[in-house]
Structure 1
Amino acid sequence: MQHSTSLTRDLRELPPIDSWAAFEPAGTATVACSCGLDTGHIPEGEAFAIDREHRAAS
């Protein structure tokens, strides 16, 4: 099976700044793979480690 992983960093919406939408990193992320892996929202550092490990194992 070919693995295709994606890591998505979560953003938190802030109040508008000068009528522009504003966001900041939420500190969480999600890792998903075509093999069925889906971590849900987990701490960002943990997500990066899981992504690296999963890519290395495939």
Structure 2
Amino acid sequence: MKKSKPRNHVAMNPLLRKGGAHVRARSGKRFADKQQMLKAAREWKSSRDSLSLCFQ
């Protein structure tokens, strides 16, 4: 009977099986959301400032 090859235990490590599609990190998404919120706040404030100038 033919002897089988020894298994590579490093390649079978469960931590190495975590591969998959690359997705954006949660911290990057939080940063982008914060930047978008700050931009919307700036636009809202500038529209309110121009509105107050019209009624003076």
State TM-score, norm by structure 2.
0.29
Higher relative contact order, chain-length normalized (CA < 8 Å, sep 6+): 1
Q: Which has the higher strand share?
A: 1
Q: Which has the higher helix share?
A: 2
State TM-score, norm by structure 1.
0.28
Q: State which structure, 1 or 2, has the greater radius of gyration over its C-alpha atoms.
A: 2
